[in-house]
Amino acid sequence: MFNILAESTPYIDLTTATWMKDFFIVLISFFIFLWIVCIIWVGKDIASRTNNILLQIVSIILITIFSPLIWLPLYIIIRPVGYKKDNIPWREACALNMISCYNCGTFNPKEYECCIKCGEKLRIKCKQCWEQYPHSYQYCNKCGAPNIEFDL
């Protein structure tokens, strides 16, 4: 009887140790998952903020090497403040009879099909009347149908 009691104490310790191990595995898996999500998020975020390939690569490499714990707060401080879309001076472009490229912001003459700097298509086709109009328009200038790609 005494023997059984004496043996049961280390058994309880072993269960606690296994539980702790499982807990750490779950914790580490969760952290790795979070890390991967952060890498993807930084990749998407930096791509929407700059066309500078070097800056994009450096940001992604740094978050992969250093953990998000260290690099994410730093990244939020050093990243370019505005989005590429915010830089479009589309009112000025309208006044000058020019179209600004939604991708790189370069001014192009209105009759051009593609951007002279990055090759991106300058106009989209209206889903309702097939009229072509610049990406920056929120509504079709011919029939008033909303530009469904505007927020993309």
Site residues for Zn ion per CB under 5 A: 101, 103-104, 106, 115, 117-118, 120, 126, 128-129, 131, 140, 142-143, 145
Residue with tokens 């079709």: 140
Of 45 and 120, CB closest to Zn ion: 120
Minimum gap (Å) between residue 24 Cβ and Zn ion: 49
Minimum gap (Å) between residue 50 Cβ and Zn ion: 13
Minimum gap (Å) between residue 126 Cβ and Zn ion: 3
Of 20 and 129, CB closest to Zn ion: 129
Burial class (CB in 10 A: 0-12, 13-18, 19+), 25: exposed
Minimum gap (Å) between residue 133 Cβ and Zn ion: 8
Q: Helix, strand, coil proportions of the chain in percent (round to 5)?
A: 55, 10, 35
> Angle at the Cα of 83 (from 93 to 64), degrees rounded to 5?
150
Of 40 and 118, CB closest to Zn ion: 118
Question: The tokens of 14 are what?
Answer: 């072993």
Of 67 and 106, CB closest to Zn ion: 106
Question: How far is residue 90's CA from residue 59's CA, in Å, rounded to a whole number?
Answer: 29
